[in-house]
């Protein structure tokens, strides 16, 4: 560990980590720079609506009180809260809607909402929803492929060993295949 110019450098740190950029915003900026016409449907007005009920939070989990999360929110939408302690408006992206009274957000609020708090929400633009859907499909595909790779050697070993052979061996020998 070295201190270079006031910044700590750990062993193995070779490149500074880059921040992720929203793909839809990046695509829009590239088209604008290249001189391509930006279609009117690419620009979408986001309407902020008042959420039904009130919320509390613990970390990235949001608990609803008389809420209807499944009807009002979906993955990629934004939830907006004026924090009761700091009076600062905070916006978080919805990662998962579990039920009408429970959901998960991208990151926790500056401090947990311990008293019930009113909230607003903004539906995600179409481009953002498409991005989330694509990422979800890619994650499912990657996990499915990993699981198949993990199961492939196990299935091959079981196919080579007949059930009578595994009974003849002791339980420890059957496991060591």
pLDDT above 70: residue 2: no
Report pLDDT digits (tens) over 19-47: 544 555 555 566 556 655 545 555 567 78
- pTM tops 0.85: no
Phi, psi of 86 (to 5 degrees): -95, -15
Q: Where are the domains of the chain?
A: 46-124, 130-175
Report pLDDT digits (tens) over 78-120: 999 999 888 999 999 999 999 999 999 989 999 999 999 999 9
pLDDT category at 163 given cuts 50, 70, 90 is low
CATH fold for domain 46-124? Elongation Factor Tu (Ef-tu); domain 3 (2.40.30)
23-34 and 126-160 helices cross at what angle (nearest 10)?
Answer: 130
């Amino acid at each position: 560990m070295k201190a270079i110019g006031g910044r700590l450098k750990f062993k193995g740190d070779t490149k500074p980590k880059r921040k992720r950029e929203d793909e839809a915003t990046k695509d829009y900026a590239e088209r604008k720079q290249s001189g391509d016409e930006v279609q009117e449907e690419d620009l979408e007005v986001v309407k902020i609506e008042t959420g039904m009920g009130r919320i509390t939070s613990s970390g990235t989990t949001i608990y609803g009180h008389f809420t209807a999360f499944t009807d009002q929110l979906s993955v990629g939408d934004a939830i907006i809260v004026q924090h009761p302690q700091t009076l600062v408006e905070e916006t978080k992206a919805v990662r998962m809607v579990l039920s009408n009274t429970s959901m998960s957000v991208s990151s926790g609020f500056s401090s947990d909402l311990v008293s019930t708090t009113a909230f607003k929400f903004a539906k995600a633009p179409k481009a953002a929803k498409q991005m989330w859907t694509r990422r979800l499909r890619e994650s499912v595909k990657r996990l499915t492929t990993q699981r198949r790779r993990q199961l492939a050697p196990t299935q091959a070993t079981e196919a080579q060993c007949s059930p009578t052979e595994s009974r003849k061996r002791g339980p420890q020998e059957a496991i060591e295949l």
